[in-house]
Chains A and B, each alone.
Chain A
Amino acid sequence: MKLTSCKITPVNTRISRIRLLSDAGAEGSWVIDHDLHTMAESLFSAALAGQDPRATASLWRNMLDHAGDNLQARICAAALDVALWDLKSVSGNEPLWRKIGGARKPANIHFSIGGCKAGSGEEDRRLHEALSASGFREGRLDSPLDADDLALRIERLASALAQDAQPPALYVNAREQGALKDTIAAIRTLEQRFDITGIEAPFPMWDASGVRRISENIRAAVFNDLSAYGRERLLPLFRAHSLNIVQLSIFRDGVSGVLELADAAFGYELPVIIAAAPGNIGAHFAGALPYFMSLEIAELPEAQTLPSEIAISDGWALPGDAPGLGVNWPQPSI
Chain B
Amino acid sequence: MKITGFRSETYSMKMNREVADANLPSGVEIMPASILFLETDENITGISLGYGGGVEHLFHLIEGEDPRDVVGLWIKINDYLHKAGNEGAATLVFSAIDMALWDLKAKIAGEPLWRTLGAREGRVRAYASGLDYSLSDEDLFRFYRHMAERGVTAGKLKVGLDIEADMRRIGIMQDALSVAAAKPGLMIDSNEYWSPKQAVRYISMIEERYDLIWAEEPARRWDYDGLRLVSSQVRTAVATAENLKSLSDVYPLIANEAADVLNLSSNHSGVTGCRQIANMAYAHNIPVSMMNCQANFMAQVAAALPGHTMMEVVDPGREHCLKYDNHLEDGYIHLSEAPGFGIEVDETILKDLQQNPPKGKGAFPFPRREGAGRYLVPPAPGETPWSS
Interface residues of A (CB under 8 A from B): 51-52, 54-62, 92, 94, 98, 100-105, 231, 234-235, 238-239, 256, 259-261, 263-264, 266-269, 287-288, 290
Q: B255 at interface (Cβ–Cβ under 8 A)? A: yes
Q: Can you name 29 A-B pairs with beta carbons within 8 Å? A: A52-B115, A55-B118, A55-B119, A56-B118, A57-B117, A58-B304, A94-B68, A98-B66, A101-B74, A102-B72, A103-B71, A104-B69, A231-B282, A234-B283, A235-B283, A238-B283, A238-B284, A256-B118, A260-B283, A261-B279, A261-B283, A264-B279, A267-B251, A267-B254, A268-B251, A269-B248, A287-B71, A290-B75, A290-B276
Taken together as a complex, chains A and B put the C-alpha atoms of A92 and B1 apart, in Å, by 14
Asked if residues B275 and A263 are in contact (CB atoms below 8 Å), the reply is yes
Across the two chains, which residue of chain B brings its CB closest to A234?
Answer: B283
Q: How far is the CA of A160 from the CA of B254 in the complex (A)?
A: 43
Q: Chain B residues near A288 (CB, 8 Å)?
A: 71-72
CB-based nearest A residue for B305: A57
Given A55-B115, A57-B306, A58-B118, are A102 and B279 also a contact pair (CB < 8 Å)? no
Name the prevailing secondary structure of the A interface residues: helix
With A57-B119, A266-B276 given, is the CB distance from A103 to B72 under 8 Å? yes
Q: B374 near A: Cβ within 8 Å?
A: no
Nearest CB on A from B49, distance (A): 21
Task: Give chain A residues whose Cβ lies under 8 Å from the Cβ of B283.
Answer: 231, 234-235, 238, 260-261, 264
**B: number of interface residues (CB 8 Å):** 39
B107-156 at interface with A (beta carbon < 8 Å) = 109, 111, 115, 117-121
Q: Are A54 and B251 in contact (CB under 8 A)?
A: no
Does B58 sit at the interface, judged by CB under 8 A?
A: no
Bound CA–CA A239/B255 (angstroms): 7
Instruction: From B72, B78, B247, B304, name the one whose CB has the most chain A CB atoms within 10 angstroms.
Output: B72
Q: B70, B115, B255, B306: which contacts A101 (Cβ < 8 A)?
A: B70
Within the assembled complex, what's the spacing in Å between the Cα atoms of A256 and B250?
22
Other A-B pairs beyond A55-B120, A103-B73, A288-B71, 8, CB < 8 Å: A54-B111, A55-B115, A98-B68, A231-B282, A260-B282, A263-B276, A264-B280, A264-B284
- Is there contact, CB below 8 Å, between B71 and A92? no
A287: nearest chain-B partner, CB-CB: B72
Within the complex, what minimum Cβ distance (angstroms) separates B157 from chain A?
31
CB under 8 Å from chain A, chain B span 40-84: 65-66, 68-76, 78
Q: Is the CB of A54 within 8 A of B276?
A: no
Q: Does B105 contact A (CB under 8 A)?
A: yes
Min Cβ gap A120→B in Å is 41
Which of A231, A238, A264, A287 has the most C-beta atoms of chain B within 10 angstroms of its own C-beta?
A: A264
Q: CB-CB < 8 A to A61: which residues of B? A: 306
Give the Cβ gap from A254 to chain B, nearest Cβ, in Å.
12
How far, in angstroms, from A104 to B70 measured CA to CA in the complex?
A: 11
* B66 cross-chain contacts in A, Cβ below 8 A: 98
Which residues of chain A have C-beta atoms less than 8 A from B279's C-beta? 259-261, 263-264
CB distance from A198 to the nearest CB of B (A): 21
